């Protein structure tokens, strides 16, 4: 029974991939960009995570995102991590209009925020860690109608008695 359900889920995901790629080609850019999906290494996760971002506030020169996801430490330290963050992104190019860019334009953003991670199954007393986020985002044309982005972040982890220097890399795709 378990094998049948795993095969069914795998086939459903396999069939959904072409539809997702097709919808990216037909995406209208007349509306504000709201959702994006990211994969991150390092950062808040702290090793690797898959996240969804939602643009809760957008202005002509900046936007605010709320991010949440699932991560893994690939060790016995924690079974699962739940990273989350709130970031403000300010455009660095004076010629750029629209945040994040709604067409295939190259654009740079400074990113500042705060985030944390729940460590599910951690043997330590501390099952939550938080930290500041300071980074740079770069948006680029992924294909004819879709945008992607990469980001580099400094995310020092703040514990009760020490600050651990840390950072991360991420790549994402705008999905709405």
Domain hosting 139: range is 31-174
Domain with 160 in it: what CATH number? 2.40.160.20
| pTM summary value | 0.73
Residue 34 has a pLDDT of 80
Higher per-residue confidence, 99 vs 153: 153
Please report whether residue 153 resides in a domain: yes
Is 163 contained in some domain?
Answer: yes
Q: How far from 93 is each of 2, 104, 107, 113, 134, CA to CA, in Å?
A: 53, 15, 7, 20, 18
Q: Structural domain tally of the chain?
A: 1
Statement: residue 30 has pLDDT above 60: no
Averaged pLDDT, 129-153: 86
Burial call 44-75: b when 16+ CB within 10 Å, e when fewer: bbbbbbebebebeebeebebbbebebebebee
Question: Which pLDDT score, from 0 to 100, does residue 7 have?
Answer: 55
Q: What is the mean pLDDT of residues 68-83?
A: 86
**Percent of the chain beyond pLDDT 70?**
73
User: Can you read off the two tokens belonging to residue 1?
Assistant: 């029974």
């Amino acid at each position: 029974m378990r094998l049948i359900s795993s095969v069914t889920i795998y086939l459903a995901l396999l069939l959904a991939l072409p539809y997702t790629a097709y919808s990216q080609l037909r995406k209208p850019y007349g509306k504000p960009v709201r959702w994006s999906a990211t994969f991150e290494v390092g950062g808040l996760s702290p090793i690797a995570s898959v996240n969804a971002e939602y643009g809760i506030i957008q202005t002509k020169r900046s936007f605010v995102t709320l991010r949440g996801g699932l991560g893994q430490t690939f060790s016995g330290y924690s079974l699962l991590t739940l990273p989350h963050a709130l970031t403000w992104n300010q455009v660095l190019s004076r010629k750029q209009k629209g945040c994040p860019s709604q067409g295939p334009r190259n654009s740079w953003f400074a990113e500042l925020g705060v985030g944390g991670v729940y460590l599910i199954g951690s043997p330590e007393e501390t099952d939550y860690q938080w930290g500041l986020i300071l980074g740079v985002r770069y948006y680029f044309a992924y294909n004819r109608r879709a945008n992607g982005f990469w980001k580099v972040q400094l995310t020092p982890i703040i514990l009760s008695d020490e600050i651990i220097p840390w950072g991360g890399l991420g790549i994402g795709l705008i999905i709405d």
